[in-house]
Structure 1
Amino acid sequence: MKAFKFSLMLLLIATLMSCNNQQSLQEYYIDSKENEDFIMVDLPTSLISAKSESLSPEQKKVIESVKKINLLAYSLKDTAFYTSETGKVKAILKGDNYDELMKLGSTEQRMRIFIKGDEDAIDEVVVFAQDNSKGFVLARVLGNDMNVADMVRFAETMDTSSAALNTAQFEGIMDVFN
């Protein structure tokens, strides 16, 4: 009986130690929502497709593969907080099965793009843009079976359908980089 209790206790300890205590990106968004220093906007793709008659069938297909876009921004007020928060985001993106697709910029201004999922079946695209003198923007594009080519077309669609997009939703987000 003692051996059984001892084995059960070892199993319980091993289980607790194997739990991942690292914060996920979704948890980071939820935690940041409570902090008034952040600006957060959740955009359904229905805002983009309001004038879908002006989009090509290919553009419509791309928009249908995207479920929503989450934007989180921090306008630099406190350098120590900025450094802490960008460190958290980098740790999450490094340790939560994200693959870095691209990075560009300098040490002062940079943008990194990450994907989660297979190249032809992407479930999430994350864009992390930083400006050491202005702040950062973290954007998540969530969808089903997206691919890299679709994301390029989605960006083009966002650009060409700007008249159909309610830009009032973005007020405050882009102020981070003004």
Structure 2
Amino acid sequence: MPEKRPATERAPRIVVMGVSGCGKSTFGARLGAALRLPFLEGDLFHPPENRAAMAAGRPLDDAMRGPWLDRLAQALTAYRETGCVLSCSALKRAYRDRLRQAGPLLFLHLALDPQTARARVGTRSGHYMPATLVESQFAALEPPAADEAALVLDATASRDALVQAALSRLAAGRR
């Protein structure tokens, strides 16, 4: 079970979002370590049938994503007092709203272009998501709107620069 923070300390729950290949897992793990918060790999919450569909080159539809998003919201709820960093594509506002059922969240959108995403996914090994599905993710992507608690970061920046940018913006309280 997560360790509780003092009542005076805020326990952020951060969702690192973006298309496949933007670096959610790598960045999320590094950010979690920097903030001393647990990192939750959203891909591990997918049911086997979702992983099989993606491995076969079939994009997930809203019905397939629903149970996965509900599992993620439950995980976020479990970390309400202690905070966490979660990776999740959160491509559509409706998906982000579903996650927000767990309470206030901050989304960090790792933005990059389709060509870079395809190249990154194409060189990745040991992951069920093929590069052929990158286009479907960009087609579904609804970047966070101005009224959402979200920060946009350049996913092509170095890993260290990304973490520093996120930490600076979090410290400044920019939402």
**TM score, norm. by length of structure 1:** 0.24
**TM score, norm. by length of structure 2:** 0.25
Which protein has the bigger strand share? Answer: 1
Larger Rg: 1
